[in-house]
């Protein structure tokens, strides 16, 4: 049972801090167990607060889940959605890779949550997937405008194929770890995955001067 929410322990009277702790605890439980088997009592115990405080801040479990959903969508937007670098000396593909690695390294619980939601085909999973498609489409359109994509690419699958590769990795990373010398989320293995994935996408979809 998940209990480590990775947050500090401010006084319950500190409303913003207690709200964040409750939301983060709920995120961990919902990612691991799903909504049906997660109770407000579990979340309160993990956050180190009373169930009354949970109800005071969020009212119902449905409201708490919606707060978690909003947080997850915000993290995805802030991490991934801004336009890619455009300076000639910069590499927009590396920019995308940096963002995905940041998500994997620093927002593990969010990755767990979106992986479960998408695999279970929940309503929030649909919202998350569609948001990621929109973000990825905008990135690939920018790359196309910069002349960095191959001319013969299917305009839909130039977005969906790399996204499927990344999301498949998110969902299967515990299984991937069984076939690696150390866990997938260690810095060395994340860098190894990044290099391999960039090579696959680079050969299949990109044309970058100075890159073999």
107 contacts 131 by C-beta, under 8 angstroms: no
Mean pLDDT along residues 139-144: 89
Mean pLDDT along residues 50-76: 96
Question: 180 and 86: one domain?
Answer: yes
Question: 124 and 177: one domain?
Answer: yes
Token couple for 172: 């299967």
Looking at 103-107, 128-132, 161-165, 201-205, which range is the least confident one? Answer: 201-205
Question: 123 and 87: one domain?
Answer: yes
Domain CATH number, residue 156 = 1.10.357
Question: 96 and 113: one domain?
Answer: yes
- Does 64 score more than 60 pLDDT? yes
3-state secondary structure of 149: strand
Query: What CA–CA distances, in Å, run from 183 to 28, 172, 192?
Result: 19, 12, 12
**What per-residue confidence (pLDDT) applies to 207?**
64
Question: 84 and 183: one domain?
Answer: yes
CA–CA gap between residue 195 and residue 179 (Å, rounded): 17
Domain CATH number, residue 53 = 1.10.10.60
The percentage of residues in the chain with a pLDDT greater than 90, rounded to a whole number, is 71
Mean pLDDT along residues 163-182: 96
Confidence tier at 153 by pLDDT (50, 70, 90):
confident
Residue 211 lies in a domain: no
Parent domain of 55:
15-59
Token couple for 92: 């927009």
Residue 161 lies in a domain: yes
Q: How many domains is the chain built from?
A: 2
Question: 48 and 146: one domain?
Answer: no
Mean pLDDT along residues 105-118: 97
Question: 155 and 84: one domain?
Answer: yes
Q: How many other β-carbons are positioned within 10 Å of the β-carbon of residue 61?
A: 17
Question: 48 and 144: one domain?
Answer: no
């Amino acid at each position: 049972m998940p209990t480590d929410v990775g947050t500090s322990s401010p006084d319950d009277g500190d409303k913003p801090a207690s709200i964040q702790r409750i939301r983060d605890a709920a995120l961990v439980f919902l990612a691991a167990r799903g909504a049906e088997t997660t109770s407000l009592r579990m979340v309160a115990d993990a956050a180190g607060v009373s169930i009354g405080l949970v109800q005071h801040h969020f009212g119902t479990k449905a409201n708490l889940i919606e707060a978690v959903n909003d947080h997850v969508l915000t993290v995805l937007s802030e991490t991934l959605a801004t336009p890619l670098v455009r300076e000639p000396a910069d590499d927009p593909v590396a920019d995308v890779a940096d963002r995905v690695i940041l998500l994997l390294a620093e927002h593990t619980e969010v990755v767990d949550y979106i992986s479960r939601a998408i695999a279970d085909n929940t309503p929030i999973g649909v919202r998350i997937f569609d948001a990621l498609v929109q973000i990825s489409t905008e990135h690939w359109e920018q790359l196309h405008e910069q002349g960095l994509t191959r001319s013969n690419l299917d305009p839909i699958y130039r977005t969906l194929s790399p996204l499927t590769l990344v999301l498949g990795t998110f969902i299967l990373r515990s299984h991937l770890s069984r076939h690696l010398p150390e866990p997938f989320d260690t810095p060395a293995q994340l860098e190894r995955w990044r290099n391999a994935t960039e090579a696959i996408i680079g050969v299949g979809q990109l044309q970058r001067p100075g890159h073999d």
